[in-house]
Amino acid sequence: MSAVYINSASCISVQDTLKDQFFPDLTAENSTQILKAIEPNYKEFIPPAMIRRMSKTVKMSSVASHYALKEAGIEQPGAIIVGTGMGCSQDSEKFLKNVIDNNEEFLTPTFFIQSTHNTVAGQIALGLQCHAYNFTYVNTSSSLEFSFLDTKLQINDEEAENVLVGAADEQTERTMELYRLNNTIKKEEHLPVDYLHSKTDGVIWGEGAAFFVVGKDKTETSYAKLTDIRISNRLDIEETGSFILDFLAKNNLHAEDIDAVILGFSGDQKSDVYYTKAMDVFPNSALLYYKHLSGEFNTASGFSIFMACHILKEQQIPEIMMINPVKKTEVKNILLYNHLAGSDHSLVLLERS
């Protein structure tokens, strides 16, 4: 497949990423079990009557997609593709609570209708009155990467010229309780967490939404060229190096051609070993991490792609993301490596446009 271009990028996250020049204000979050996204004033974007019926995922996605389309100067995308790990879980919990509270009788269907994973893509399309290709991917931590693969197919097959693609996940009270019980979320006594040298299991959980407009042509607003993506559901720890090097070789690159590597260190000692292995492949590259800024969640890779886009465009790496002291005079190629709890490994290769 030929490369496509990321022509705009928007993100709602734990950081104030909607504003311009947010690099200096990035702050690490390592002492709280659960991180909440900084939300905009939704009334500026969504009619009040609609806000009441929207889950947090839908609201965040609606605003992030609005910013992405506005920056790209696109009114009607040729396709809308969304990735999510948990979907609109707030409404799912509300529906199940109603089932229990009402003894399975006299149930209103609203929460059930709005709890489906494709609600996000559907609501964006309704807001835009867009009747184009509309698809949702639910592939845990590689949901966004699958969405980007589909985006490349849509553009390469000339089904669309510009695609609105993004990912979003929200937190819900009951799910967070369950995550605490099964030790997905780090215990209070193990905080604050050292993301790079953690000796305990579990993560700090976050949330957010990241949306991009991807097109077949480079524009004045282009952030990066989306060169290639690779996904593997399972990976043996000893295969990490070959997994990365084979991907680079397929794109006629060597490890020394990668200027920066963004790794998904989450503070979970069991699964972070993959990233430690990956670091050995790149002795001369700038090594970066990001989940101390965003928290871990199913589509946290959206935050890392958003950060990579800004690094490529501004040719500046925030100090707070740096693992090693390597600094490049020019950042041309960035490799992003992510997984969730050791499953669904993904590689994304971005090039300066």
Residue 141: both structure tokens together: 């931590």
Question: Rounded to whole angstroms, how far apart are CA atoms 24 and 295?
Answer: 19
**pLDDT above 80: residue 95:** no
pLDDT tens string 193-208? 999 999 999 999 999 9
Q: Examine domains 4-215 and 224-352 and report if their fold is the same.
A: yes
pLDDT of residue 237: 97
**pLDDT above 80: residue 232:** yes
pLDDT of residue 263: 98
Do 203 and 29 form a contact (C-beta atoms < 8 A)? no
Query: What is the CB-side half-sphere exposure of residue 6 using CA atoms within 13 A?
Result: 31
In the chain, where the domains are located: 4-215, 224-352
pLDDT tens string 286-328? 999 999 999 999 999 999 999 999 999 999 999 999 999 999 9
| CA distances from residue 25 to 18, 137, 184, 352 in whole angstroms, order as listed | 12, 32, 29, 24
pLDDT of residue 53: 80
CA 169 to chain centroid: 9
Instruction: Give the helix/strand (H/E) hosting 337.
Output: strand 333-340
Average pLDDT on 229-246 reads 97
Exposure string for 213-242, b = 16+ CB within 10 A, e = fewer: bbbbeebebbbbbbbbbbbeeebeeeebee
Given pLDDT bands bounded at 50, 70 and 90, which one contains residue 110? confident
pLDDT of residue 26: 97
pLDDT tens string 28-80? 999 999 999 999 999 999 888 888 888 899 999 999 999 999 999 999 999 99
8-state DSSP, 220: T
pLDDT tens string 4-24? 999 999 999 999 999 999 999
CA 224 to chain centroid: 16
Point out the least confidently predicted range of 114-118, 132-136, 267-271, 274-278: 114-118
**pLDDT above 90: residue 280:** yes
> How large is the C-alpha radius of gyration of the chain?
20
pLDDT tens string 137-194? 999 999 999 999 999 999 999 999 999 999 999 999 889 999 999 999 999 999 999 9
Q: What is the CATH number of domain 4-215?
A: 3.40.47.10
Percent share of the chain, pLDDT over 90: 84
Name the region of 104 (left: φ>0; alpha: ψ -120 to 50; beta: rest): left
In CATH, the architecture of 224-352 is 3-Layer(aba) Sandwich (3.40)
Average pLDDT on 94-121 reads 80
Mean pLDDT of all residues in the chain?
94
- What is the pTM for the complete model shown? 0.95
